[in-house]
Structure 1
Amino acid sequence: MLPGTPGGHLAEIAARCPDRPAIEGEGLVLDYAGLDARVNRTARLLTARGLGRGDRMAVLAENRLDYVVLAFAAARTGIILAALNWRLSDGELSHCVHLVAPRLVIASPRFRDTARRLGLDPLVFGPDWEAALSAEEPGPIPGAEAEAEARQEDGLLILYTSGTTGLPKGAMISARAEMARFTLSRRELGLRPEHMFIAWAPMFHMVSIEHAMHVLMTGGRVVVVDGADIPRLVDLVETGPHWWLVLIPGMIERVAAEIRSRRAARPDWRPARIEMVGALADLVPPALIAEISGVLEAPYWNSFGSTETGMLPAAGTRFAPGEAPGDLAKAPNSLHLWRLVDEDDRDVPPGTAGEIAVRGPSVFSGYWNAAATNAKDFRGGWFHMGDMFVERPDGRLDFVDRAKYMIKSGAENIYPVEIERVLMTHPAVGEAVVVRRPDERWGEVPVAFVALADEAPPVTAAELTAWCRAGLATYKCPREIRFVASRDDFPRSTSGKVQRKTLEAQLQAETAPPAARDVVGESAA
């Protein structure tokens, strides 16, 4: 593992290459000297407001340059950055805030009213923020880096993941884990100082916040983009060279269409050199993988990872540009130990499906304030990921299913219980069961089966969808709601549990929607 700290690597590059371009966003462009100074000013501002080692600051903001600055300031002070998911409903956000009890909340002007609606009094990015930064010294806090290096297990980030209990969990990522993930980016993903990275995915995901940090810790260049602005992304594709161009289900078709349009207008259009593109190959049609990797002239990354482990427990394969993959087997990386185990935590033989359990320096420290969940998921000293694999004779791994039933829609993880919990609060609903359905655009989408309560008044699928929208992030709302005649009509096991696989098979077997189905139109993911 590479030595040092996130802040230490940044300071070293700023000392050696102060004029090298570092990061740009919202019209602001900083070289490494300017970025390092802004991180130092931010760290001083946070400590002046009374924050110290172990305190949490919650950030509610769209992608912006200062989001990355705050992450490095956290690394230099021992403060923990809790990255709030602005796509969540007010109820879910309130849970996330109260879970970590932040000493300070920072919001962008776009989400200031959301924070206040939750009863928070945020510090807001803008003129007052800039004035406060300007009043601080640009030099480092004496002794801060040495202290940070001595405390590698200190928390750095809290990133929220979907919870099997229906509410998000806060995964705490330590400085040690972040340095290990950085090491993997350098050694196994080919990250080099000449690379640039487009941070368009929401900063509350590891995909942007962590990998933006890795690029800046290497000496590369980060361009912060406010979401999946496809024309802007394709503009940037012409510059470079790029490290990892993140593309996920739901946007790949739009990127390909934009490139086709530009090539029609400019036949000589070519992308800059790109080390790798894509993600989540299991959820993308092979023909689309071939098209996008072909037009971008870059390998498609066959990724597999999680917020809890980083991107690389088993993501060591790529597909050649223009290749339509017929084999999605994963290859483990060099910093993880792994096992495939049965429900009693016994190793399964090759060729038999088992849950993957991992150890390694990139693994997170546990879920915040969730002792029972941590005891279960870290049992025996191994983190159990909830994903089922089969080991091949050559040591590669084939993904089979999720031990923890989860819907992967685009880059978002959705647990059915999150949706079921909300549906069951409607007075007309007697029972609700949510399953996944394959989707060409998003990979998977949720579909809800609902049995009405006895003597309940009539309710439509549209009304239930509106109910979901009031209590859930939009991307979690079911794409379709189907009514069953009664609770007795759900397929059940001998123990009475609804058999989700049977409902899934029913969805997949249909070639046309039945006339009696009450269907809701497509909702935004």
Structure 2
Amino acid sequence: MDINSCYQPLDLVRSAAKANVAGLFCSIAAAVPDRIALCDGNRQYSYRQLDARSNQWANLFAGNALVQGDRVAVMLGNCAEYFELELAAAKYGLILAALNWRLSDEELQNCTNLVQPKLIVVGVDMVERLTGLGITSAKQVVISDDCIELLKDYSNSFTLPALDPEAGLLILYTSGTTGLPKGALVSHRAIIARSMVFHVLFATPDEDNFVAWTPMYHMVSTDHGLATLLRGGTVWCLDGYQPDRLIELIERIKITWLVLVPGMVGDFVARLQARPFKVKGIKVIGAMADLIPREEIGAATTLLQAPFLNSFGATETGLAPATGGNIVIGVVPDSLSKAQTPFCDLRLVDPEGREVAVGQPGEVSLSGPTLFSGYWNNDDTNRQDFRGGRFHMGDVLRRNIDGSLDYVDRVKYMIKSGGENIYPAEIETVILTDTRIETAVVVRKVDAKWGEVPVVFLVCRDETVSEAEVVALCRSSLASYKMPKQIRFIKDEELPRSTTGKIQRHLLEKLI
């Protein structure tokens, strides 16, 4: 017997185990061809129709001489075509770069130049903006209406090529608080794993409904829209926050996860309180509970009769590492301790990579199938963030005795004062217990004696708040070395923010 003959079956097995997004979507489309896949305003597409439309887009890519691994940039609002393009890229073996059109011209130029797209698909309402960027290296495809005329000459049949699940599918741009956005490369493998984790976390039914209203250039609508389509559910496209339409949908359809995000929960609660409505059925609401006023969480869960998702994840990780628990209906939570997400290997480590003890803060070090494939064309950052063969998130958590996890802060915000580590969020959390204070931001200041000391910027709802009151509040709960050495009152509009609303701490430090 030739020993080499033993290896051929193993190779065939390995090949059969390599599923990709395109193959899985085509399989579910064949199983439920007449089920509704996408709803966009008055337009509805069945799985058969969505399969055909994405095939037409794939053939359009072929007509533009694209090859596997090429990048196609997309500059669109939320619409059915966004999902068609993602599926077409998956079928062809391309990488779709989701441009955040809310960025500044400089940031948008950088995002585009970073990935060097061969083709840019742009909405007719954004052509002028794109033209003003002066990007001439890529051909433009302008879309409007339902694209029937654009696609009519392209076949609705397409033969899937062989594709490794580690191949890139999406580039989503992270909105850092310093510097320019980085392009996070998300593979077929990661999207499939995120879909499976999503299904396990929420026990989603076969005919699930997902409302994709948050921007498609961020992970929430993209990850969970594709997850829904890979399971045979229906995605409802909304181009941004449309509260009346959202209320109409919660009365009409059953929804596993209704996404509510910081900045809109209070408004949505007020609108719900102002009119009669009846929920068809929601399993869980919300996201990023740490960033939402806790009384808004209690009000939202009461009105919608659904628990609030106590999530902690990132573009780079999906819902991992700590999205395993919910805040129960009607509760204004005292604690936002989180449960670890299943199917991820989470460790909390010190700067030398050693695991810290229970109760001690440590940086999240992660491995697992939901992870992205690194930052596009950024080897230095990849070497640093993937040191030791694990992804270091830059977020600091603390594991409690019961196994739950508490968020502490970002590593890069840590202040080293006299040999002690101070995390700004520790101070901010104490100060925000005074309901007259709307925003507290702690940054570092260079100090000749201690090296660095904390300084706090405050936005107050009530002008009666005094510096002495803030000092007394901090002294009652914080160690002396964590006491802010300076308190500065500021108006909300004076806080420097990125286009996604993140406060740019490095610019506040320059004001000190």
Match of 1:292 in 2: 300
Residue 382 of structure 1, aligned match among 373, 385, 390: 390
CA distance in 2, matches of 1:353, 1:520: 30
- Give the Cα separation in 2 of the matches to 1:97 and 1:246: 29
Pairing 1:179-218 to 2, within 5 Å after superposition: 179-218=192-231
Greater Cα shift, 158-167 or 301-310: 158-167
Give the Cα separation in 2 of the matches to 1:202 and 1:445: 25
Q: 1:492 aligns with which of 446, 463, 468?
A: 446
Is 1:101 equivalent to 2:116 in the alignment?
yes
1:89 maps onto 2:107 in alignment: no
Cα distance in 2, alignment partners of residues 444 and 105 from structure 1? 41
Tell me which of 148, 154, 171 is aligned to 1:130. Answer: 148
* Equivalent position to 1:274, from 274, 282, 292: 282
**Residue 162 (str. 1) matches residue 115 (str. 2):** no
Q: CA deviation at 1:505?
A: 7.9
Q: Which of 317, 320, 325 does residue 317 from structure 1 map onto? A: 325
Taking the TM superposition and a 5 Å limit, the aligned residue runs for 1:428-439 are none
Distance 1:378 1:226, change over 3 A: same
Percent identity for Structure 1 against Structure 2: 40
> Contact 1:116–1:122 at 8 Å: present in 2 too?
no
Normalising by structure 2, we get a TM-score of: 0.80
Quick check: 1:219 aligned with 2:232?
Answer: yes
- State the match for 2:505 in structure 1: none
Deviates more, 1:350-359 or 1:279-288: 279-288
Taking the aligned partners of 1:390 and 1:522, their CA distance within structure 2 comes to 32
Instruction: Report how far residue 369 of structure 1 moved.
Output: 0.5
Distance 1:128 1:46 in 2: 18
Q: Does residue 57 of structure 1 match 2:72? A: yes
Query: Which of 372, 375, 384 does residue 380 from structure 2 map onto?
Result: 372
Q: Hey, what does 1:456 align to over in structure 2?
A: none
| Equivalent pair of 1:195/1:240 in contact (CA under 8 Å) | no
SS at match of 1:312: strand
Q: Write out per-residue CA displacement over residues 17-76 of structure 1, whole angstroms, 9 at most, x where no aligned residue.
A: 211111011432101111111111111111221112110011111111100111111111
SS in 1 for 2:246: helix
Rounded Cα–Cα distance in structure 2 between residues aligned with 1:510 and 1:375? 48
| 1:505 to 1:202, Cα distance in 2 relative to 1, 3 A | closer
Partners of 1:4 and 1:368 in 2: how far apart? 23
Please tell me whether residue 228 in structure 1 is matched to residue 241 in structure 2.
yes
Please list, as runs of the form range in 1=range in 2, the aligned pairs for 1:473-512 lying within 5 A after superposition.
491-494=445-448, 499=453, 501-504=454-457, 512=465
Separation in 2, partners of 1:169, 1:496:
33
Between the aligned partners of 1:63 and 1:276, the Cα distance in structure 2 is: 23
Relative to structure 1, the CA distance from residue 272 to residue 301 in structure 2 (aligned partners, 3 Å threshold; closer, same or farther) is same
Query: 2:123 is matched by which residue type in structure 1?
Result: S
What does residue 139 of structure 1 align with?
A: 157
Q: Say if 1:184 and 1:321 are closer, same or farther in 2 by CA, change over 3 A.
A: same
Alignment of 1:376-455 (within 5 A): 376-405=384-413
Partners of 2:347 and 2:44 lie apart in 1 by 45
Residue 465 of structure 1 corresponds to: none
Q: Which amino acid aligns with 1:136?
A: Y
The code of the aligned residue for 1:279 comes to A
Matched, 1:23 2:41: no
Bigger Cα displacement from structure 2, 4-13 vs 225-234: 4-13
Given that residues 97 and 172 in structure 2 are in contact (C-alpha distance below 8 angstroms), is that contact kept between their aligned partners in structure 1? yes
Judged with a 3 Å threshold, the aligned counterparts in structure 2 of structure 1 residues 77 and 495 are, in CA distance, closer, same or farther, namely: farther
Aligned-residue offset at 1:368: 0.4
1:314, CA displacement in angstroms? 0.9
Equivalent in the alignment of 1:334: 342
Residue 518 and residue 216 in structure 1: after superposition, are their counterparts in 2 closer, same or farther (change >3 A)?
Answer: closer
User: Any gaps of 5 or more consecutive residues in structure 1?
Assistant: 264-268, 407-415, 417-434, 450-489
CA-to-partner distance for each residue in 1:443-482, whole Å, 9 max, x for gaps?
A: 9869799xxxxxxxxxxxxxxxxxxxxxxxxxxxxxxxxx
> Are the equivalent residues in 1 in contact too, given 2:186–2:372 (CA < 8 A)?
yes
The residue type paired with residue 193 of structure 1 is D
Partner of 1:73: 88
The C-alpha deviation readout for 1:156-200, integer Å capped at 9, x for no partner, is: 000000236510000000111111101101112222222111100
Give the Cα separation in 1 of the matches to 2:440 and 2:71: 33
Residue in 2 that maps onto 1:173: 186
1:521 CA drift (Å):
4.3
Which residue identity does 2:60 align to in structure 1? L
SS in 2 for 1:492: strand
**Residues in 2 aligned to 1:520 and 1:445: alpha-carbon distance in whole angstroms:** 8
The question of whether the paired residues in 2 share the 8 Å contact of 1:181 and 1:362 is answered with yes
Say if 2:98 and 2:173, in contact at 8 Å, map to a contact too.
yes
| 1:152 pairs with one of 162, 165, 190 | 165
SS at match of 1:349: coil
- Checking the alignment, whether the CA contact within 8 Å between 2:441 and 2:456 is kept in structure 1 is no
Q: CA deviation at 1:498?
A: 5.9
Q: Aligned to 1:324, what secondary structure does the other structure show?
A: coil
Question: What displacement does 1:315 show?
Answer: 0.9
Contact 1:491 1:503 in 2 (8 A): no
Give the conservation status (yes or no) of the 8 Å contact 2:432–2:440.
no
Aligned positions, number: 445
Check the 8 A contact 1:152/1:174 in 2, yes or no.
yes
Give the distance between the partners of 2:68 and 2:380, measured in 1 at CA. 25
Counterpart AA for 1:6:
V
2:302–2:329 Cα contact (<8 Å) kept: yes
Distance in 2 (alpha carbons) for counterparts of 1:446 and 1:90: 30
Structure 2 unmatched ranges of 5 or more: 1-16, 415-423, 468-487, 502-512
Q: CA RMSD in A?
A: 3.1
Distance in 1, Cα, partners of 2:325 & 2:126? 39
Aligned-pair distance for 1:13? 2.3
Q: Structure 1 506/255 Cα, relative in aligned 2: closer, same or farther at 3 Å?
A: closer
Q: State the AA in 2 paired with 1:200.
A: W
Give the counterpart letter for 1:306 in structure 2. A
CA contact (8 A) 1:45 1:132 kept: no
Which residue is 2:126 aligned to?
Answer: 111
